[in-house]
Amino acid sequence: MWLSTSGHVRQFAVRAGAFVPYANQSAVDRPTVKSVSQNPVTGQVLTVSPEPGAPCSWCTSRIRFHGPGGEEELKGSSLYKARWWTADTP
């Protein structure tokens, strides 16, 4: 389970009852992340954070990917959250 706060992104292992280290933590764990989602098939993580110059203080037009990294811009959008959608998503 993922948890984002104003300062960090953490991963919580429910069975262990504890926060645990995770792949690409140094890139994913940063302030102001509003949304974090892990691809259930590949394990790749995406995050969404507000950016300066966006039409609202809480939104962005960019989705960042981690493991492997990259970025996708959806020009003209005002994103707050993003989630993976795959054929294997329950």
**pTM of the model as a whole:** 0.87
User: Structure tokens of 63?
Assistant: 């989705």
| pLDDT, position 85 | 87
Residue 78 lies in a domain: no
pLDDT at 89: 60
Q: Tell me the pLDDT tens digit for each residue of 11-25.
A: 999 999 999 999 999
In a domain, 84, yes or no: no
Give domain status of residue 25, yes or no. yes
- Number of folded domains that form the chain: 1
Chain mean pLDDT for the chain: 93
**Does 86 fall in a domain?**
no
Residue 60 counted as domain residue: yes
Confidence of residue 63 (pLDDT cuts 50, 70, 90): very high
Domain-embedded: residue 89: no
User: What CA–CA distance (Å, rounded) separates 24 from 11?
Assistant: 12
**Domain membership of residue 40 as a residue range:** 2-73
User: Which pLDDT score, from 0 to 100, does residue 44 have?
Assistant: 95
